[in-house]
Structure 1
Amino acid sequence: MARFFMELAYRGKNYHGWQIQPNAITVQEVLNTCVGKMLGQEINIVGCGRTDTGVHASYFVAHFESEKLPLGTEQFCYKLNRFLPRDIAVYSMTQVDEQTHSRFSAINRSYEYHLVTQKNPFLQESAYYLDKGIDFSKMNEAAQVLLDYTDFTSFSKLHTDVKTNNCKITKAIWEQKSDRWVFAISADRFLRNMVRAIVGTLLEVGQEKISLQRFCEIIEAKDRGLAGTSAPAHGLYLVGVDYPEALFIPKHQRVCCL
């Protein structure tokens, strides 16, 4: 059996996240169905991670196994995209070593959270609108503190099956881009709901509901109940997944989600 990596993107609005679940449509289910019909076999596509209901991915990597792609990788992608719904796009397929795994071989992941402070009817489903006064400089002070910690239990969804809540964050910054503010964060791994919980708590700093010292205390307490409410899903994008070059070199230039 050959293993193939797929580079893809999707809008999360119409899906209950990436991973298959009962009685709810997911991105993984749609891809399994479409790829399986094209290959004439049952397919289980494995993603580089999970995204929650409503979360988008402007860059996502997944893998599946098959004897071969009957049309070749480029033609297979072309045919598959005609078969897929408009809110899912596959950009490339690359055969990789059978030991290379889309999730476990990844060494870095990057997310962006998009926020607008002025009402825009064209961004209602792709950015979080918040018109209250926000101090982004204070939020950036708090964001830099994240790089000093490794245990992010306070920003993790409760009762998950992970063995550790430790992550190494290498980037966390708010930047103004065009008509919005974008929070960019990168780490070796992320916990369930982690980015949205961090954003929600940073917004409390920016609205002066909590101090920078309190923000640090929340992290150190390792208690999800002390952190802020998770920011809405529709503002969040997975934008990057990195692998050692010896295992996988991306073919596709990542989609801009601005």
Structure 2
Amino acid sequence: MQRYKCIVAYDGTGFAGYQVQPGKRTVQLEIEQALSKIHKGDSVRIAASGRTDAGVHARGQVVHFDSKLQIPGERFKKALNAMLPRDISILDASPVDMDFHARFTSVRKEYRYRISLSEERDPFLRDYAYHYPYPLNLEAMKEAAQYLKGTHDFTSFCSAKTEVVDKVRTVEEIIFNTSDDELVIQFIGNGFLYNMVRIMTGTLLEVGSGKKAPAEMETILAARDRIQAGKTAPGHGLYLWKVDYA
């Protein structure tokens, strides 16, 4: 058997999420069905660096699978792209060692959250950026973000539905990029909990709009209580941008 690593981009608009769900269209299902065709009906399971929710996009999702077909990665890439729907693209495919794991050997992830600040909503961005047409104090948001950087227990910033016990994560960078009427927030860290980036974004927006003070971030973290943080920002503004490995 040969293990292959793929970098995958997808438009999450038409999916119920990444993970297979009975009766629903998912990214994992589409890729596994394409792999099954390539393997003449044999089932091939893929493992991903992480799951994404309904509507969430990816520019650099990473998956791996094992195959008895030891062929060049470029051929796998072309074969998969010929069979996959137009809202999924394999950007790269390459053979890797059998000890590589898309999830467990990752060392860093980057997510980006797009926010449209224009007064009028742009119909062409309705599925790709969160429309937030209200004044924002960007400096206050940057100040608040400093409290989130570093190693913390992020219980307050993850969904209460998460089954993960260890909620300690390290956020290395939170970077704010503005261009015209758009704000993009980059979140870089060693890993993120379920809905963590969307909750951090929603809370930072509350700081930017004056509903919360920047220093409240410290109190929210210490509380370890989801209720203390802000609303969860919508999924369609979120992108899994990049996954790094040692």
Q: TM tier, shorter chain?
A: over 0.9
- The runs of at least 4 aligned residues of structure 1 exceeding 6 Å deviation read none
SS of 2:187's partner is strand
1:45 to 2:46 alignment: yes
Preserved contact between residue 45 and residue 62 of structure 1 (Cα < 8 Å):
yes
1:178 shift after superposition: 4.6
Per the TM alignment, residue 161 of structure 1 is displaced from its structure 2 partner at its CA by 2.2
1: CA distance, partners of 2:4 / 2:146? 37
Corresponding residue number in structure 2 for 1:157: 159
Measured on the aligned residues, the alpha-carbon RMSD in Å equals 1.3
**SS, match of residue 6 in structure 2:** strand
Distance of 1:80 and 1:159 partners within structure 2: 34
Structure 1's unaligned 5+ residue stretches are 245-258
Aligned residue number for residue 59 of structure 1? 60
Of 189, 192, 199, 1:190 maps to: 192
Which residue of structure 2 aligns with residue 216 of structure 1? 218
- State the AA in 2 paired with 1:53: A
Specify the SS of the correspondent of 1:21.
coil
Question: C-alpha displacement at 1:79, in angstroms?
Answer: 2.4
Question: Whole-Å Cα distance in 2 between the matches of residues 110 and 225 of structure 1?
Answer: 25
CA contact (8 A) 1:144 1:173 kept: no
Aligned residue-pair number:
243
Q: Secondary structure at the match of 1:20?
A: coil
Per the alignment, residue 242 of structure 1 pairs with 244
SS at match of 1:107: strand
8 A Cα contact 1:109 1:188, kept in partner: yes
Distance in 1 (CA, whole Å) between partners of 2:180 and 2:63 is 31
Q: Give the deviation of 1:57 after TM superposition.
A: 0.3
Work out the CA distance in 2 between the residues paired with 1:223 and 1:149. 17
Post-superposition Cα deviations, 1:141-173, rounded to whole Å, max 9, x if no partner, equal 111111144110001111422130000100012
CA contact (8 A) 1:111 1:185 kept: yes
Q: Is the 8 A contact 1:11 1:57 kept in 2?
A: yes
Alignment TM-score, normalising by the size of structure 2:
0.95
Identity of aligned residues (%): 38
The one-letter amino acid of 2:66's match is E
Distance, in Å, in 2 between the alignment partners of 1:233 and 1:47 is 19
1:81 aligns with 2:67: no
Cα deviations across residues 45-72 of structure 1 (Å, max 9, x unaligned)? 10011111110001111000011245x3
**Counterparts of 1:128 and 1:26, CA distance in 2:** 22
- Unmatched segments (≥5 aa) in structure 2: none
| Cα gap change, 1:220 to 1:8, in 2 (>3 Å) | same
Residue 131 of structure 1 aligns to a residue in which SS?
coil
Question: Following the alignment from structure 2 to structure 1, what is the Cα–Cα distance between the partners of residues 176 and 18?
Answer: 26
d(CA) in 2 for partners of 1:15, 1:102: 21
Aligned residue for 2:106, secondary structure, equals coil
Change (3 A) 1:120 1:32: same
Aligned pair 1:175/2:187, yes or no? no
Q: Which amino acid aligns with 2:54?
A: T
Higher strand share: 2
Report the TM-score when normalising by structure 1.
Answer: 0.91
Q: Which whole-Å deviations, capped at 9, do the CAs of 1:127-153 have from their partners, x for residues lacking one? A: 011111111111111111111441100
Whether the 8 Å contact between 1:116 and 1:130 is mirrored in structure 2 is: yes
Instruction: Give the structure 1 partner of residue 105 of structure 2.
Output: 105
Counterpart in the other structure of 1:127:
129
Contact conserved, 1:69 with 1:76, CA < 8 A, in 2? no
